[in-house]
């Protein structure tokens, strides 16, 4: 009973934080006059549709140029609510197809699952790894991952190590390594599923399937992880553009 009470208290506390974060973002975008360029949004949608065979979510979106009502975003962030659409906020350094598509996929994950599954159960490495499937920035490519792995200053990470936001999101090269690793693992897992005859899991079905697999059977990603950390991952994502 005590464990249940602590868990309930934690969920309530986290929900309050998330809702405050969402309301703060909603107020900021309400007064912001900075909209995202139509051609960038269209290109991001096309990229997601090409990778996941369609786009289902319709998040609120703003490309802000600076600090807005105390909300300061450099690249991109997405805020969630159990009752309202996600808010994709794109900062000045993220005003491009890669980041817009990346943040949009976070909304897709929430759409295909639900608010609570996405925010409380989905490992951060999977959520970010899915978003990285449409984010082609070279600093997170397979070549970059190999360079990170050879860097003695980078701390090796297991998937369990980067399953929570507090561990995944790190400053500098360490954080970029986590993104590159997550991107590689998810890409390798999707490739392996297709090779095993599950071609239907290359599209939208992959999102829900991979979320459930990561929650219920995380060991299913071991082979993909080993391919990435050993340098044997597919070259198809080495320098994707």
Kindly list the strands in the beta sheet with 60-63, ordered across the sheet, starting from the edge strand earlier in the chain. Answer: 60-63, 87-90, 76-79
Higher pLDDT, 237 or 213: 213
Most confident option among 18-32, 57-71, 186-200: 57-71
What lies within 8 Å, CB to CB, of 166 at 6+ separation is none
| Banded pLDDT at 173 (limits 50, 70, 90) | very high
| Banded pLDDT at 239 (limits 50, 70, 90) | very low
Structure confidence at residue 61 (pLDDT):
95
- Which of helix, strand or coil describes residue 150? helix
pTM: 0.88
Structure confidence at residue 241 (pLDDT):
40
SS3 percent helix, strand, coil of the chain, rounded to 5, is 65, 5, 30
HSE-CB at 33 with a 13 A cutoff on CA atoms is 0
Q: Where are the domains of the chain?
A: 1-118, 122-241
Please, are residues 209 and 109 in contact by the beta-carbon 8 Å criterion? no
Question: How many other CB atoms sit within 10 Å of the CB of residue 62?
Answer: 22
Strands 87-90, 76-79: parallel, antiparallel or unpaired by DSSP?
Answer: antiparallel
Give per-residue pLDDT as tens, 127-157.
Answer: 999 999 999 999 999 999 999 999 999 999 9
| Banded pLDDT at 108 (limits 50, 70, 90) | very high
**CA 30 to mean position of chain CA atoms:** 25
Nearest to 133 by CA among 44, 72, 195: 44
The percentage of the chain sitting over the pLDDT mark of 90, rounded to a whole number, equals 70
How many helices (H) does the chain have, and how many strands (E)?
10, 3
Please, are residues 176 and 144 in contact by the beta-carbon 8 Å criterion? yes
Structure confidence at residue 149 (pLDDT):
93
**Helix axis angle, 204-216 relative to 38-52, nearest 10°?**
70
CA distances from 86 to 1, 89, 165 (A): 34, 10, 18
């Amino acid at each position: 009973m005590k464990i249940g009470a602590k868990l309930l208290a934690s969920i309530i506390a986290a929900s309050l934080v998330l809702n405050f974060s969402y309301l703060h973002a909603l107020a900021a975008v309400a007064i912001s006059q900075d909209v995202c360029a139509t051609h960038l949004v269209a290109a991001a949608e096309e990229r997601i549709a090409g990778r996941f065979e369609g786009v289902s979510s319709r998040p609120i979106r703003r490309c802000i140029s600076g600090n807005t009502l105390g909300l300061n975003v450099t690249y991109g962030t997405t805020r969630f609510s159990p009752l309202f659409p996600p808010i994709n906020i794109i900062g000045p350094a993220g005003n491009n197809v890669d980041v817009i598509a990346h943040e949009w996929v976070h909304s897709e994950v929430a759409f295909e699952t639900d608010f609570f599954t996405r925010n409380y159960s989905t490992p951060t490495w999977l959520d970010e790894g899915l978003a990285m499937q449409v984010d082609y920035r070279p600093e997170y490519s397979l070549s970059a991952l190999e360079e990170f792995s050879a860097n003695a200053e980078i701390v090796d990470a297991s998937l369990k190590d980067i399953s929570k936001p507090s561990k995944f999101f790190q400053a500098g090269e360490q954080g970029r390594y986590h993104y590159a690793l997550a991107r590689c693992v998810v890409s390798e897992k999707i490739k392996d599923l297709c090779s095993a005859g599950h071609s239907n899991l290359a599209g939208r079905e992959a999102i829900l399937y991979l979320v459930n697999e990561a929650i219920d059977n995380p060991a299913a990603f071991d082979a993909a992880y080993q391919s990435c950390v050993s340098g044997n991952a597919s070259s198809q994502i080495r320098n994707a553009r």
